[in-house]
């Protein structure tokens, strides 16, 4: 049986890739995907804990997180679309009318 | 064996359900009447908030949904703050409805109300799942609201920044929550308080994961609370987004972050506050962030030329003061936290309402616009000055009482527990930065009153905005001179968190 | 009615503010009249209070004690003894005169100005009435806002700088005081089990020596900035010179007294051991203030900054009197607070009058005014002499008592302080000579009008007070004495504890004995012992 730590390590790796991606990427869409990666890392960890502790709360949690992520994606992509119409770019470095 | 349904206690949720339906109604109304009326949707929203407040008054206390939803003093107190800040934000938004938001009035109000519903759920949540959902329900409408002027470059930019930061921070929070869940095996916060302490005592090596969890949760909520180093988005988003939205962000969303923070840390991680628990002690970590917030917020605010950015930095500093109440972790501290955010609501919403009124007239948020305004618009200048003085903490305004309680809580904690002696330093730094704060608040007053030339602008008030100004003014004076009823109410927050005075 | 007299005196000016808010802002005359009438009635109320005050009784009078914020034990607690009584009367009198003096000189934003003046009066009287530390702090801070506006809006060319400097200095000190107050409250809570902000209860609270030093330091810093004691005085010349005449009068006449009042009311009785420990340092700082203020005043070219620096010097005297820690010293100091308020207030008014005529205050611009404005010169002469402390004027009585106390406490201090008196005679008379005597050198000075009836109305009461206190100070001293003895009882309680050589002072004993015993104990020696512990 695969120990729970294996799942956690995968989760940490996923989370790390996601975090680094958000911090260094300049493309809105890529940043957005990296955030989804982070959420999924958390989901994986939740499921792994839920399974190893034999408590079902984690499963319920994951379903709700998936829903929330979908809502977030809908809003996020709409805003990206709006700014693309406005500026014709999705490079975060260009969005500097406001001092970042 | 008979299967027992959990007790739903739907009546406890009546205010949230009502407000949610009302928000849908407003959107539907606006669409169905072909968006003809300029103000009706706004007045409907205000009425809805007032009715929700009434319903909240009749809602009892208790638990529902298998202990996931709780209606206690802390929840009620914060719900009042959410409703109040939504009320004042909507009240100050009638000016922008005239020119800038012609086609989406219903959606604007609907989204503010949705966000308010999210905040109310959040303050009633008793476990991590509903807390997370509540937080998301709060934030997602705010992303849209920040970018609401979709043809305005600044607003869209503010929206995208807020979205990236908000989504990133919620991912951090979620990951932290997954660790807390893994350590305690439960999502119930009260149960978690016990379970984590037991796990800690049984396995001495949970340190690393717990530290990671604490850091991630602090970071996740720190973004919402704008605690440094997670504060960079604040001035940009405040400057770019519509002024009423910035106001709502600065009070409502902050109060939501505060209650979420208090729920996770004061409730769930109750045991890990004291230096004895080092390195798992979150108290000193948060204290450090609070110090950073007070110093950074107050010093950088001095250099700002845009009033919304200045208020943004000032709000960063204010959060630093509030955190002293949480770090103190005594009954007084919890009450002080509640009272502070209550007083802050009047002062900051009022200040933003004043900014909105000036912006409607002049189209500018530069501090230089305010030069000589006292001669042409004495009422606005006087009330704005009162709001700023309250933020600076000058008696007899409510802002002073709030700071007073926060400092009192800090000193009490330091005096009663030798392990918390560093609270003296915390309070000391808070005092010192208060002096800085007076400088930049006084600077605005100086612009308005001491300028040689009278301002070329004379502001005009619309009725709701004027009401907001007067509510803020009255609140600051009444609760500054006689804070006892609110304090009495706020002292119930402590017992909601299981802290016995 | 009688029991509520303090509430009435304190908050009566608020009525004027309410009335003024109802009047359109361009009706200057009615605004001014309402302000004057209200402040005049406040003055009459304070006179009535003075008449009702029982000079023999010990302790606080007209006490009101109503729970206010019960969750922290904050009470609406007011009460006065002889010290606060006189300061309240002084405040109400100076407020009327200050309002009268700004009758024509204030032309812009008239409504705001008079509202600020009345708000300031509420704050000042409130500070002197409060027996609850929270209320004391609130009133102390409330005054900042109107004073900020008075300096910043109606002041001289560098008014913005002066206003913000005044606010930041005061704020810095008072916030430390706030921490000390909170510490006291929680210390009291662990001692007695209940929250309280009551000053009188704090006086009974035993505080360990170490914390006492910190707490005294925090309070003393707040008060020393307000006094201002020597290294903290830098805001004063700016604020004084830039403020409008009425602002300077109130600032010098009342605001500075709040610092010394704080020492007498809070620092001495609540922290007796720390008082003794800090005593040598504060005495030395006061002496430096006396000499330094006088020397700097001597070289000033501007009459107003000369008077401002003379205030530093005179306030040094008052501090020295307080920290002589004997009956004469403190009595003299309290009396000198009144005297300084009257004579410096009068000097600022006179400077203001001449400034209104010439729009300059430089000494070299004047000369020979005695021939042009004889009545003015007479008034100026009287106030100058009173400021120097010539016998038969009020200044003499106060300074004499202070010097007596100082000599009794420490001869060296007495000698240095006495030399300060001589210096003050030098700079005041030299200034007077250059401004008033000699030939009229400047043509602008030839056609100056002498004082008009309004200005006489302002100056005559002050001159009367100057002579009254100078000739017959007994009624005032009678009222001060029980209060001062009360303070000394608290101080002596601690000194005996600290010395521990069998000098037990029973509170029931007559206070004359207290004085004798205290006179024998060399406070400086006590202080050095205190520090060694």
Top pLDDT among C424 and C2 is at C424
Chain A partners within 8 Å of B239 (Cβ): 98
Write down the mean pLDDT value for chain B.
89
Query: Any chain B CB within 8 A of the CB of A21?
Result: no
Note the pLDDT of residue A89: 77
pLDDT at C38: 92
pLDDT of residue B219: 93
pLDDT at B270: 80
Residue (of B162, B63, B179) closest to B128 by Cα position: B179
Q: Of the ranges A32-36, B282-286, B352-356, C438-442, which one carries the lowest mean pLDDT score?
A: C438-442
CA C268 from centre of chain: 17
The C-alpha of B189 sits at a distance from chain A's nearest C-alpha, in angstroms, of 13
Residue B498, φ and ψ in degrees, nearest 5: 75, 20
Chain B residue whose CA is closest to C137: B395
Are the C-beta atoms of residues B55 and B95 closer than 8 Å to each other?
no
A39: chain B residues, CB-CB within 8 Å:
171, 174
List CB contacts (< 8 A) between B174 and chain A.
Answer: 38-39, 42, 65
Given this model, what pLDDT does residue B355 score?
93
Question: How many angstroms separate the Cα of C224 from the Cα of each of B428, C71, C414?
Answer: 19, 32, 21
Q: B16: distance to nearest CA of chain C, Å? A: 32
Contact C148 B411 (CB under 8 A): no
- Identify the three-state secondary structure at position A26: coil
CA distance, residue B5 to nearest chain A CA (Å): 17
Rounded Cα distance between C403 and C116, Å, is 38
Residues of B in contact with C183 (CB under 8 A): 411, 415
pLDDT in tens, B120-146: 999 999 889 999 999 999 999 999 999
Q: B97: part of which helix (H) or strand (E)?
A: helix B94-99
Q: With contact defined as beta carbons under 8 Å apart, do A67 and A51 qualify?
A: no
Torsion from C-alpha of B135, B141, B142, B148, nearest 10 degrees: 170
Interface present between A and B (3 or more CB pairs within 8 Å) = yes
Half-sphere exposure of C522 (CA within 13 A, CB side): 9
What is the reported pLDDT for B38? 80
pLDDT at B363 over 60: yes
Helix C394-409, helix C453-471: angle, nearest 10: 40
Question: Would you put residue B491 in left (φ > 0), alpha (ψ -120 to 50) or beta?
Answer: alpha
At residue C506, does pLDDT exceed 70?
A: no
Nearest CB neighbour to A45, from listed B144, B160, B175: B175
Mean pLDDT for all residues in chain C: 85
- Classify domain A4-87 at the CATH topology level: Helix Hairpins (1.10.287)
> What is the predicted pLDDT for the residue at B309?
92
Kindly determine whether residue C144 and residue B427, on different chains, have CB atoms separated by under 8 Å. no
Summarised one tens digit per residue, pLDDT across range C473-495 is 888 888 888 888 888 888 887 65
Prior bond of B378 cis (ω within 30°): no
Nearest to C138 among B396, B416, B450 (CB): B396
pLDDT at residue C498 greater than cutoff 60: no
Closest-CA distance, B71 to chain C, in angstroms, reads 24
Residue whose structure tokens are 């009260």 = B190
pLDDT in tens, C12-49: 999 989 988 888 888 888 888 899 999 999 999 999 99
Closest CA to B226 of B244, B243, B252, B250: B250
Do B55 and B18 touch, CB atoms closer than 8 A? yes
Domain boundaries, chain A: 4-87
Question: Contact B332/B415 with Cβ under 8 angstroms?
Answer: no
Q: What is the mean pLDDT of residues B317-342?
A: 92
Pairs of CB atoms within 8 A across A/B: 123
- For residue C302, the cross-strand partners are C362
Test A99 with B236 for CB contact under 8 angstroms. yes
Cβ <8 Å between B235 and A99: yes
Q: B442 vs C167: CB contact, 8 Å cut-off?
A: yes
Return the percentage of chain B with pLDDT > 70, whole number: 98
Instruction: For residues B99-107, give the mean pLDDT.
Output: 81
Flag whether residue B22 sits within 8 Å of chain C, measured between CB atoms: no
**CB of B302 less than 8 A from some CB of C:** no
Q: Express each pLDDT in C187-243 by its tens digit.
A: 898 888 888 898 888 888 888 888 889 999 999 999 999 988 888 888 888 888 888
Closest residue in A to B306 (Cα–Cα): A98
Q: Convert the pLDDT of each residue in B139-180 to its tens digit.
A: 999 999 999 888 888 888 889 889 999 999 999 999 999 999
The strand pairing partners of C76, in sequence order, are: C66
Mean pLDDT (whole number) for B35-59? 90
pLDDT digits (tens, 9 = 90+) for B179-220: 999 888 888 888 888 888 888 777 765 667 888 899 999 999
Residue among B144, B174, B239 whose CB faces A98 most closely: B239
Tokens of B304: 């700002």
Neighbours of chain B (3+ CB pairs under 8 A): A, C
Check A31 against B140: CB less than 8 A apart: no
Q: Å from B277 to nearest chain A CA?
A: 25
CA–CA min distance B439, chain C (Å): 7
Share of chain B above pLDDT 90, in %: 51
Q: In chain C, what percentage of residues exceed pLDDT 90? A: 28
For C118-135, what is the mean pLDDT? 92
Q: Among partner residues B129, B156, B168, which is closest to A35 by beta-carbon distance? A: B168
Tell me: the pLDDT tens digits for C365-386? 888 888 888 888 899 999 999 9
pLDDT at B151: 84
* Token pair belonging to B170: 């919620």
> How far apart, in whole angstroms, are the C-alpha atoms of residue C387 and residue C314?
9
Other C-beta atoms closer than 10 Å to the C-beta of B58 total 9
Q: Which of B114, B137, B149, B167 to mutate to test the interface with A (most CBs of A within 10 A)?
A: B167
Chain B's closest residue to A84, CA to CA, is B156
**pLDDT confidence of residue C124:** 92
Its ipTM equals: 0.94
Contacts of A91 (CB under 8 A, 6+ apart): A26, A27, A28
Quote the tokens at residue C375.
């009545």
pLDDT at C104: 82
Q: Closest chain B residue to A49 measured between Cα atoms?
A: B182
Beta-sheet strands, E only, within C372-498: none
Tell me how far apart the alpha carbons of residues C115 and B396 are, in angstroms, rounded to a whole number.
16
User: Are the C-beta atoms of residues C76 and C65 closer than 8 Å to each other?
Assistant: yes
Kindly indicate the confidence band of residue C533, based on its pLDDT and cuts at 50, 70 and 90. Answer: very low
Predicted confidence at residue C206, as pLDDT, reads 85
């Amino acid at each position: 049986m695969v120990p729970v730590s294996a799942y956690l390590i995968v989760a940490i790796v996923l989370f790390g890739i996601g975090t680094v991606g958000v911090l260094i990427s300049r493309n809105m869409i890529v940043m957005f995907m990296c955030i989804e990666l982070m959420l999924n890392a958390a989901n994986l960890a939740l499921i792994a804990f839920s399974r190893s502790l034999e408590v079902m709360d984690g499963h319920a949690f994951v379903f709700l997180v998936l829903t929330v992520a979908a809502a977030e994606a809908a809003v996020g992509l709409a805003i990206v679309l709006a700014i693309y119409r406005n500026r014709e770019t999705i490079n975060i470095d260009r969005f500097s009318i406001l001092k970042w | 064996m008979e299967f027992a349904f959990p007790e739903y206690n739907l009546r406890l949720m009546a205010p949230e359900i009502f407000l949610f339906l009302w928000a849908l109604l407003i959107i539907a109304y606006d669409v169905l009447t072909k968006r003809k009326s300029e103000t009706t949707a706004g007045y409907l929203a205000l009425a809805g908030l007032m009715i929700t407040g009434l319903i909240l008054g009749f809602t009892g206390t208790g638990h529902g949904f298998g202990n996931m939803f709780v209606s206690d003093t802390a929840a009620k107190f914060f719900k009042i703050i959410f409703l109040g800040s939504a009320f004042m934000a909507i009240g100050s938004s009638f000016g922008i409805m005239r020119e800038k938001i012609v086609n989406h009035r219903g959606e604007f109000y609907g989204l503010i109300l949705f966000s308010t519903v999210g905040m109310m759920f959040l303050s009633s949540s008793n476990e991590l799942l509903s807390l997370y959902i509540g937080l998301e329900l709060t934030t997602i409408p705010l992303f849209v609201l920040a970018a609401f002027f979709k043809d305005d470059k600044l607003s869209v930019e503010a929206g995208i920044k807020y979205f990236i930061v908000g989504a990133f921070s919620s991912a951090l929070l979620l990951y932290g929550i997954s660790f807390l869940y893994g350590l305690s095996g439960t999502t119930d916060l009260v149960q978690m308080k016990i379970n984590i302490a037991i796990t800690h005592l049984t396995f001495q090596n949970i340190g690393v994961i717990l530290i990671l969890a604490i850091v991630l949760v602090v970071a996740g909520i720190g973004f919402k609370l704008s605690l440094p180093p997670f504060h960079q988005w604040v001035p940009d988003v405040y400057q770019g987004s519509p002024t009423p939205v910035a106001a709502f962000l600065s009070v409502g969303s902050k109060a939501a972050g505060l209650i979420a923070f208090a729920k996770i840390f004061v409730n769930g991680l109750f045991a890990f506050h004291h230096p004895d628990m080092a390195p798992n002690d979150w108290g000193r970590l948060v204290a450090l962030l609070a110090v950073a917030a007070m110093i950074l917020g107050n010093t950088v605010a001095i250099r700002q030329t845009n009033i919304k950015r200045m208020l943004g930095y000032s709000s960063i500093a204010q959060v630093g003061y509030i955190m002293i109440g949480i770090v103190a972790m005594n009954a007084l501290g919890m009450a002080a936290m509640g009272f502070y955010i209550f007083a802050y609501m009047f002062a900051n919403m009022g200040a933003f309402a004043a900014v909105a009124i000036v912006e409607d007239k002049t189209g500018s948020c530069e501090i230089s616009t305010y030069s000589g305004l006292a001669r042409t618009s004495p009422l606005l200048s006087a009330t704005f000055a009162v709001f700023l003085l309250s933020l600076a903490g000058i008696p007899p305004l409510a802002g002073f009482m709030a700071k007073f309680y926060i400092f009192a809580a800090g000193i009490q904690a330091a005096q009663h527990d030798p392990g918390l002696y560093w609270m003296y330093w915390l309070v000391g730094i808070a005092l010192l930065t208060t002096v800085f704060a007076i400088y930049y608040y006084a600077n605005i007053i100086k612009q308005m009153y001491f300028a040689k030339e009278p301002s070329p602008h004379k502001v005009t008030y619309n009725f709701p905005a004027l009401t907001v100004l007067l509510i803020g003014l009255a609140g600051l004076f009444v609760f500054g001179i006689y804070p006892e009823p609110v304090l009495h109410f706020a002292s119930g927050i402590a017992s909601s968190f299981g802290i016995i005075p | 009615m009688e029991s509520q007299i303090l509430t009435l005196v304190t908050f009566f000016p608020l009525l004027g503010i309410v009335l003024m808010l109802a009047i359109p802002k361009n009706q200057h005359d009615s605004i001014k009249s309402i302000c004057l009438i209200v402040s005049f009635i406040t003055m009459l109320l304070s006179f009535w209070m003075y008449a009702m005050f029982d000079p023999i009784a010990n302790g606080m009078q007209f006490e009101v004690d109503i729970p206010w914020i019960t969750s922290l034990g904050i009470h609406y607690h007011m009460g006065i003894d002889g010290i606060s009584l006189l300061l309240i009367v002084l405040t109400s009198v100076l407020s009327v005169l200050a309002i009268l003096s700004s009758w024509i000189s204030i032309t812009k934003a008239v409504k705001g100005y008079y509202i600020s003046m009345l708000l300031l009066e509420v704050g000042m009287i409130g500070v002197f009435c409060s027996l609850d530390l929270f209320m004391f702090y609130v009133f102390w801070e409330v005054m900042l806002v109107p004073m900020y506006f008075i300096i910043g809006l109606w002041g001289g060319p560098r008014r913005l700088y002066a206003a913000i400097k005044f606010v930041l200095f005061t704020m810095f000190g008072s916030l430390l005081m706030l921490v000390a107050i909170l510490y006291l409250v929680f210390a009291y809570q662990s001692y007695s089990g209940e929250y309280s902000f009551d000053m009188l209860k704090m006086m009974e609270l035993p505080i360990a020596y170490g914390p006492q030093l910190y707490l005294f330091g925090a309070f003393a810093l707040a008060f020393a900035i307000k006094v201002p004691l020597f290294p903290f005085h830098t805001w004063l010349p700016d604020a004084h010179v830039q403020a409008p005449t009425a602002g300077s009068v109130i600032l010098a006449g009342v605001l500075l007294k709040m610092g010394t009042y704080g020492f007498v009311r809070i620092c001495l009785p609540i922290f007796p051991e720390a008082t003794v420990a800090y005593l040598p340092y504060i005495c030395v700082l006061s002496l430096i203030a006396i000499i330094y203020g006088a020397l700097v005043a001597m070289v000033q070219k501007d009459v107003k900054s000369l008077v401002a620096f003379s205030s530093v010097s005179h306030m040094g005297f008052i501090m020295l009197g307080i920290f002589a820690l004997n009956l004469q010293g403190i009595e003299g100091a309290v009396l000198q607070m009144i005297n300084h308020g009257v004579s410096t207030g009068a000097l600022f008014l006179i400077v203001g009058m001449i400034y209104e005529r010439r729009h300059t205050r430089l000494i070299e611009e004047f000369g020979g005014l005695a021939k042009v404005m004889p009545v003015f010169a007479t008034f100026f002469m009287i106030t100058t002499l009173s400021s120097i402390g010539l016998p038969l004027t009020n200044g003499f009585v106060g300074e004499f008592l202070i010097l007596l106390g100082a000599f009794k406490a420490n001869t060296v201090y007495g000698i240095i302080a006495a030399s300060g008196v001589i210096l003050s005679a030098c700079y005041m008379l030299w200034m007077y000579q250059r401004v008033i005597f000699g030939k009229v050198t400047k043509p602008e000075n030839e056609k100056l009008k002498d004082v008009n009836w309004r200005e006489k109305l302002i100056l005559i009461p002050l001159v009367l007070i100057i002579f009254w206190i100078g000739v017959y100070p007994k009624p005032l001293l009678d009222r001060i004495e029980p209060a001062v003895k009360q303070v000394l009882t608290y101080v002596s309680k601690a000194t005996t504890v600290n010395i521990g050589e069998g000098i037990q002072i029973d509170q029931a004993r007559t206070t004359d004995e207290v004085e004798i015993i205290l006179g024998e104990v060399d406070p400086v020696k006590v202080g050095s012992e205190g520090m060694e512990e």
